[in-house]
Amino acid sequence: MAAIDGLPPLREVIATHDLVAKKSLGQNFLLDLNLTAKIARAAGDLSGFDVLEVGPGPGGLTRGLLAEGARKVLAVEKDSRCLPALAEIAAHYPGRLAVIQGDALAVDVAAHLSPPYKIAANLPYNVGTELLVRWLTPPAWPPAWESLTLMFQKEVAQRITAKVGDTHYGRLAILAQWRTEARIVMSLPPEAFQPAPKVHSAVVHLKALPAPRYEADAKTLERVVAAGFNQRRKMLRSSLKGLHPEIEALLEAAGIAPTERAERVSLEQFCTLARLLVRA
Ligand code: SAM
């Protein structure tokens, strides 16, 4: 099948550069360029935006992002074996692809991107959640990025987008939905990847809100939510006991029954409680 961009098909790229997938690096490659273009489109209009991509691997999503009009892509890849394949893409799109070889958890990308930029990635599963939490907790809000379009294991995607009362509702849902509009935009079966992982995957689109959805001090909110969900089967009057001697009264003032469990408390109620705790 002819590729979208005149570059060789990904199977050929992988064979030419001998990119045998490494499990330790979470390598499950996307080979269908129509699919990677679709993921790129899920990031919205890319023209006029720089895009940060973590883990480009052989470059399937990178090519999708460039073909869909990203002004510039900065790709951070840990595996040096992928660099020659990425150099071919860079040559095909002069001045539009920069590659940094390194660990995305350690590389400082700010100097290379014009804000507001977009982040799009088929993330390595072993570092995906950690990266997301970092992106969601910058020192200031709004952040330098305007949206995140990220592939996760389906279960993680469900934890990010869960609503109060859902099985997957917890800290990640609160953290993500306090500051972004988060939704699952695509679901992918294991066979979409090479090699096929054991689990299903999903793409989540998170759009930064101009300000957090409800007023609250970030650290206090995180403390309340962590205490509540660390002992999610316990009633809040017990799991939050350590936060304040008058916690029952504060819960009631926030409109939360002290006998309730964290999984049934809405984001708005958690924020109200966090504000009351700061004042108490
Ligand atoms: N984007 C490619 C695709 O969709 O086919 C590859 C996705 S694969 C799931 C994850 C990629 O992240 C691999 O290329 C892997 O080498 C890279 N990677 C793993 N850990 C990394 C890290 N800490 N920093 C940067 N890249 C990493």
- Is residue 28 marked as binding? yes
Is the pLDDT reported for residue 117 higher than 70? Answer: yes
CA 38 to chain centre: 17
CA distance 15 to 51: 27
User: What is the Å distance from ligand 1's center to 224 Cα?
Assistant: 34
| pTM across the whole model | 0.96
Is 122 annotated as a binding-site member?
yes
Q: Which atom of ligand 1 is nearest to the CA of 105?
A: 23
ipTM of the complex: 0.99
Of all protein residues, the one whose alpha carbon is nearest to atom 19 of ligand 1 is 25
Query: What is the percentage of the chain residues whose pLDDT exceeds 70?
Result: 99
34 annotated among ligand-binding-site residues: no
User: Pocket residues for ligand 1 (CB within 6 Å)?
Assistant: 25-30, 54-57, 60-61, 76-79, 82, 103-105, 122, 124, 127
Cis peptide before 94 (omega within 30 of 0): no
Percent of the chain beyond pLDDT 90? 95
What are 202's strand-pairing partners?
A: 152, 187
The pLDDT-based confidence of 97 (bands split at 50, 70, 90) is very high
| Band (4; pLDDT cuts 50, 70, 90) | confident
Q: What is the pLDDT of residues 40-80, one digit of tens each?
A: 999 999 999 999 999 999 999 999 999 999 999 999 999 99
Tell me the mean pLDDT in the region 179-207.
97
Using the predicted structure, report yes or no on whether residue 106 has a pLDDT greater than 70: yes
Q: Give pLDDT, residue 232.
A: 87
Separation between Cα atoms, residue 218 and residue 247, nearest integer Å:
19
Q: Report the alpha-carbon distance of residue 144 to residue 166 in Å, rounded.
A: 31
Mutational pocket test of ligand 1: of 10, 122, 153, the residue with most ligand atoms within 8 Å of the beta carbon = 122
pLDDT of 3 strictly over 80: no
Residue pLDDT, tens place only, 237-278: 999 999 999 999 999 999 999 999 999 999 999 999 999 999
Smallest CA separation from ligand 1 atom 11, residue: 55
Mean pLDDT of 216-222: 96
Taking CA atoms only, the protein residue closest to ligand 1 atom 21 is 78
For residues 99-123, average pLDDT: 96
Contacts of residues 266-271 at CB distance under 8 Å and 24 or more positions apart, as own/partner, are: 266/164, 267/164, 267/173, 267/174, 267/177, 267/178, 267/213, 267/214, 268/213, 268/214, 270/174, 270/216, 270/221, 270/224, 270/225, 270/228, 271/178, 271/212, 271/213, 271/214, 271/215, 271/216, 271/221
**Is 95 annotated as a binding-site member?**
no
What CA–CA distance (Å, rounded) separates 85 from 91? 10
Q: Which helix (H) or strand (E) holds 46?
A: none
Contact, 227 vs 242, CB < 8 A? yes
> How far does the centroid of ligand 1 lie from the alpha carbon of residue 78, in Å?
7
Pair of tokens at residue 76: 């951070």
Cα of 147 vs centre of ligand 1, distance in Å, is 19
pLDDT band at 147 (very low <50, low <70, confident <90, very high): very high
Cα(208) to ligand 1 centroid in Å equals 24
Pairing of strands 117-122, 72-77: unpaired
Confidence grade of residue 125 (pLDDT, cut at 50, 70, 90):
confident
Asked if the model's pLDDT at residue 2 lies above 70, the reply is no
The average confidence (pLDDT) of the chain is 96
Nearest-atom index, ligand 1, CA of 76? 25
**Residue 101, number of CB atoms within 10 A of its CB:** 14
User: Hey, is 100 helix, strand or coil?
Assistant: strand
User: pLDDT digit string (tens) for 26-40?
Assistant: 999 999 999 999 999
Output the pLDDT for position 57. 98
> Which of 13, 22, 28, 29 should be mutated for ligand 1, with most atoms under 8 A from CB?
29
User: How does strand 180-188 pair with strand 117-122?
Assistant: unpaired
Residue 55 counted as an annotated binding residue = yes
**Which atom of ligand 1 is nearest the CA belonging to 57?**
14
